[in-house]
């Protein structure tokens, strides 16, 4: 009985350390992602950093998927661009499978797919992600997101014309409460 309790305590301690490390890693990787959004010259470096994460969380997979889509800006080769888009689609599918209830993951996938020309066939999830976001916005936690990201979220919601003014107002209220 004692050894079972010891193993249980050890496992829970290791599990908690892994969660804390992933959260810290996510914050650091998020900062790198913002850097990549602002400067296409660092996209490949940041993408490589995301690719090296072992056992990535759903959010890390979503950021990786977004970076894979951004990687299309680093090449003129159409086939490489399509390969990056396929990788992006796969990363987002894995992220949604790992965390189907994550508003952040769904929002990222929707935002990336919106930017991809629909005739390429990588925009099929937009309607269901939009519906999911609207139905679950009250569960979204902006904690850990910087002002730059929060402003980009609202700007995207206004630009994409997929949300009503009322829905955007609700989202703005939620994002304004960012402890």
Q: What is the CATH number of the domain that holds 38?
A: 1.25.40
Residue 27's pLDDT is 82
DSSP-derived secondary structure letter, 121:
S
Residue 167: pLDDT band with limits 50, 70, 90? very high
Instruction: Write down the pTM of the prediction.
Output: 0.80
The per-residue DSSP string of 45-101 comes to HHHHHHHT-SS--HHHHHHHHHHHHHGGGG---HHHHHHHHHHHHHHHHHHHHH-TT
User: Which range marks the domain in which residue 104 is found?
Assistant: 2-176
pLDDT tens digit sequence for 105-116: 999 999 999 999
Three-point CA angle 16, 20, 22, nearest 5° = 115
Token pair of 121 as six digits: 């066939």
As for how many domains the chain has, the answer is 1
Residue 143's pLDDT is 77
pLDDT tens digit sequence for 60-79: 999 999 999 999 989 999 99
């Amino acid at each position: 009985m004692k050894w079972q309790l010891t193993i249980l305590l050890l496992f829970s301690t290791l599990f908690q350390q892994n969660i804390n490390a992933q959260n810290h890693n996510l914050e650091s990787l998020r900062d790198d992602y913002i850097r990549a959004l602002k400067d296409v010259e660092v996209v490949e470096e940041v993408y490589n950093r995301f690719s090296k994460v072992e056992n990535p969380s759903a959010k890390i997979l979503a950021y990786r998927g977004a970076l894979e889509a951004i990687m299309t800006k680093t090449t003129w080769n159409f086939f490489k661009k399509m390969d990056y888009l396929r990788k992006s689609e796969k990363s987002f599918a894995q992220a949604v499978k790992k965390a189907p209830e994550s508003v952040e993951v769904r929002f990222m996938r929707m935002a990336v797919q919106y930017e991809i020309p629909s005739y390429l066939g990588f925009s099929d999830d937009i309607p269901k992600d939009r519906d999911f976001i609207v139905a679950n916005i009250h569960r979204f936690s902006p904690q850990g997101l910087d002002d730059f990201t929060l402003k980009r979220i609202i700007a995207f919601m206004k630009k994409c014309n997929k949300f009503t003014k009322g829905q955007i107002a609700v989202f703005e209220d939620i994002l304004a409460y960012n402890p």
